[in-house]
Structure 1
Amino acid sequence: MQQVPKQKGNYGIDAPIVVRNLSLMGIGFLMIGVAAFFVFPARLQWLGITMGVVFLLTCLIGTVEALYMVWSSKVGKFRERERLLDLVAPRGDEKVLDVGCGRGLVLNAAARRLTTGKAVGVDIWNKQDQSGNDPEVTRANARIEGVADRVEIISGDARNMPFTDNDFDVVVSSLAIHNIKNSVDRSRALGEIMRVLKPGGRFAILDFQHVGEYAEVFVKLGALDVRVVGPHWLIFPPVRIVTGSKPGEREG
C-alpha cells in the first residue's frame, strides 16, 4: 500500500532555463507591443496597431507557456508520476531503479510503495535540466518524505550505468533520457535499462520527446509487450510513457 509522505519534498522547476527564456520573451514582446501603438505616425497608425496586437498576442502565448510549465512542475508532474508507477505496479518487495532521478520526485514515490524493497536513483546532476539538481538535495527530500531507509543515491551516466546485469525488478525514468542529444547514445541508455533489468522485469519511461524512438529501440532489444501510453497534458510539453518488460520469468 502506498504510504502518505510525512512532508512534501522540494522538487524544483523542470527546464528552468526554458521557463526563464519564455518569461523574458513575454516581457520583451509586451514592451515592443505597447511601443508599437505609439511610435508610428498617424498615417501608419494601422500598422502600429497591427504590430502591437501581434506582439501582445505573442507575449500572451509565451507567458501562458511559462506559467503552464511552472504549474506542471509544482502540480502536474506529481500526478503524472503516480500514473507512471501505476503502469509498473510494484508489489513492494522489488528493487527499483530511477534513471535520471533528479531531486527524487519519482524515486521517493516509488520508495513509498515499497515494503521490503529498495529504490535506487542514478543521475549526473545537471542543473540545466532541473533547478537545484544535486544529490544532497535528493537525499534531503528522501528524509523529508520518510523514505531515506529505502533509498540509495548513486552518481552515474545512463549510457554506462554502474550496476551488474539483471540487477533490478523495475526501471523507471521521467523527463531524463531526452537530455541525451545523440540518438546513438539514447539507444545505449535504453540498452543499459534492458541490461540491468532482471528477466521478467518491467520498465516505464516518461518523456515529451523521442518516445516513439524509445519504443522502436526496445522492440529491437527484444522487449515484450512494448506500448506507448498518452499523450498526457498534466506536464507541459505533453508527455507519453513507453512500457514493456524483459523476456523471462518474473521472480516470486
Structure 2
Amino acid sequence: MARKKLTLSTKANYGNWVPTNIMKMLGAADSVLAVLTFLFQRVFQLKPAAWVTGILCLIFCAYTFYMWRCREAFDFKKGDIMGDVHQFLVDHLKWDGKGTFLDIGCGAGALTMRCAKTFPKASFVGMDYWGKEWSYAKEQCEQNAKLEGVAARGRFEKGDAAKLAFPDETFDAVVSNFVFHEVRTARDKRDVVREALRVLKKGGAFSLQDMFAQKALYGDMEDLVKELKAEGFAEVHYIANIENQNQLVPKFIQTPWMIKGAGVLYGVK
C-alpha cells in the first residue's frame, strides 16, 4: 500500500550513508597524492614515481567525486534517496498503527521518525549498537525525536540485533533498514532475521530491508519464505532487487559497495 511520502524536519540531523569522516579521508588521500606527484616531478626529478602517484591521484579524485555524488543523493535535505528507500519499507508495513513498533538498527532515527509520524497513535523503541565506526548516537536520536514532535511516544536503547533484550512477542510491529548484514555477532544473517521476528507478536506486522538478494549473505530467500509460512506466519512476502523498483535508486548508486541486491521481507506473523 503506497502512502504519501512524509517530509522530515530540516532541523533534524539524520547523518548520511556516506559519512563525513570518509569524505575527509578521501580528501586527505587526494591531497597527499597530489603533493607527492608535485615533489617527484619538480623537486626530486623522479618521473616514474610521479607517473605512479599521478595516476593514483586521478583514480582517487574520481572516486572522491563519485562518493560526493552519492553523498549528495543520500542527503535527506537534498537527493533524499534514503528517504525514498525508507518510504518503500513503510509502504510495505501492513499495520494499523495500534501498539508499539521496534526499529532495529535505528542509526540516527530517520526510519523511526518516519514510522512514528506515519502512525501517530503508535509508541516506539529505537535500538542500535551505535559503534564508533558509525557517526550516529543515542543522544542524536533523542534530539531528532524532539524536533519531529514524537519524543513523548518512545525511547531509544543500545543493543545487539543478534540478541535482542526483549521477551518473545513484545512488539506489534518490527522494522529494520539495511542493518542485518552489518551485524558482526551473528555468522548466519538469517539468524538476525529470525531474532527480529521472535520479538514480534502473533498477528504483528514486519517490514525488513537488507541485502537479501545477495545469496552470499542469505542464500535463497525463497527458502526462508517457505520456512516461515510452514511455521505458521499469516503472510510472508519477498521482493528482490528493490533498487530497480520504480527507479527507487539511481543507476550510479547500484554498486556492491552502495546498494546492490537489496530486498524487502514483509508480512504478518
Distance 1:158 1:225, change over 3 A: same
Deviation of residue 84 (structure 1)?
2.0
Aligned to 1:11: 14
Aligned to 2:240: 228
Partner secondary structure for residue 227 of structure 1: strand
Q: Which amino acid in 1 is paired with 2:123?
A: K
Distance in 2 of aligned mates of 1:27 and 1:89:
50
Identify which of 183, 190, 199 aligns with 1:180. Answer: 183
Distance 1:7 1:57, change over 3 A: closer
Is the contact made by 1:39 and 1:48 (CA closer than 8 Å) also made in structure 2?
A: no
> Larger relative CO (CA 8 A, sep 6+): 1 or 2?
1
Partner secondary structure for residue 71 of structure 2: helix
Deviation of residue 94 (structure 1)?
4.8
Distance 1:210 1:30, change over 3 A: farther
Partner secondary structure for residue 184 of structure 1: coil
Deviation of residue 52 (structure 1)?
6.2
Indicate whether 1:189 and 2:201 are aligned.
no
Identify which of 216, 219, 232 aligns with 2:225. Answer: 219
Distance 1:120 1:23, change over 3 A: same
Indicate whether 1:25 and 2:29 are aligned.
yes
Deviation of residue 195 (structure 1)?
0.7
Aligned to 2:122: 117
Aligned to 2:233: none
Distance 1:69 1:182, change over 3 A: farther
Higher alpha-carbon deviation: 137-146 or 172-181: 172-181
Distance 1:22 1:87, change over 3 A: farther
Distance 1:194 1:144, change over 3 A: same
Q: Structure 1, residues 109-162: CA drift from partner, whole Å, max 9, x if none? A: 110001322222111221312x1x221221110010111133221222111112
Distance in 1 of aligned mates of 2:185 and 2:227:
18
Indicate whether 1:88 and 2:88 are aligned.
no
Distance in 1 of aligned mates of 2:8 and 2:59:
41
Is the contact made by 2:213 and 2:263 (CA closer than 8 Å) also made in structure 1?
A: no
Distance in 2 of aligned mates of 1:147 and 1:211:
35
- Unmatched tracts of structure 1, length 5 or more: 248-252
Deviation of residue 20 (structure 1)?
3.6
Aligned to 2:259: 238
Distance in 1 of aligned mates of 2:14 and 2:28:
23
Distance 1:244 1:8, change over 3 A: same
Aligned to 1:167: 170
Distance in 2 of aligned mates of 1:185 and 1:63:
33
Partner secondary structure for residue 9 of structure 1: coil
Distance 1:35 1:81, change over 3 A: farther
Q: Which amino acid in 2 is paired with 1:226?
A: Y
Indicate whether 1:63 and 2:72 are aligned.
no
Please report the RMSD computed on the Cα atoms of aligned residues, expressed in angstroms.
3.3
TM, length-normalised to structure 1: 0.77
Percent of matched pairs sharing the same residue: 25
Higher alpha-carbon deviation: 5-14 or 48-57: 48-57
TM, length-normalised to structure 2: 0.73
Deviation of residue 179 (structure 1)?
2.1
Deviation of residue 62 (structure 1)?
2.2
Deviation of residue 190 (structure 1)?
1.4
How many equivalent pairs are there?
Answer: 242
Q: Structure 1, residues 205-247: CA drift from partner, whole Å, max 9, x if none? A: 3345875434638437515223324235356712523223354
